[in-house]
Amino acid sequence: MLRAFFSLFKSVPAESKELLAAIREMTGLRPADPNIYLAAFRRKVDDQSQKSANMRYERLEYLGDAVLGVLMAEYLYEKYPKGDEGYLTSMRSKVVSRKALNRIAEKMGIPQWMDMGRSRSGRQGQTSSVPGNTLEALVGAVYIDRGWNAARYFVHRRMLDPYVNFDKVETEVISYKSLL
């Protein structure tokens, strides 16, 4: 509780206020520590170097990937009580595939807020996995900042319910080899 109170006095760069408002809209949550969310979008804060900002982003992406996997498994377990392990695994892999996460991120409006600096290959712009990676980093930020229940709310109610058509996912083929 005290952490949330003191976070109100943390300084946030003026140019980040719009991004933080967009994050509140996306997540349905008020950030206790806005800097964590800025890191999820590769924004530098305080006197942080870009290398340090990138490392925070990558760590949030790593954590968000793991949290998303567990929350996705929980969601499917509850949604499909008669689904066997193979079915649930197939559904989970379809929803958390890079292509699917990129689509969800696009629908949520994440790309317009991403730091579109140089990609790892040195080209200007984004690589094909950046929107989905940023979404995973956002999940990690919510988990670090607000805890398990807030992460569950964000993933289940603000991400999966509005942006994933499970009837369509069910019929989607991601591996023709496994179909054989």
Q: Which of 54, 47, 53, 27 is nearest to 145 (CA)?
A: 27
Residue 156 is classified by DSSP as: I
Q: What are the phi and psi torsion angles at 13 (to 5°)? A: -55, 140
3-state secondary structure 39-74: HHCCCCCCCCCHHHHHHHHHHHHHHHHHHHHHHHHH
Q: Which residues are catalytic?
A: 65, 136
Bin 122: left if φ > 0, else alpha if -120 < ψ < 50, else beta.
Answer: left
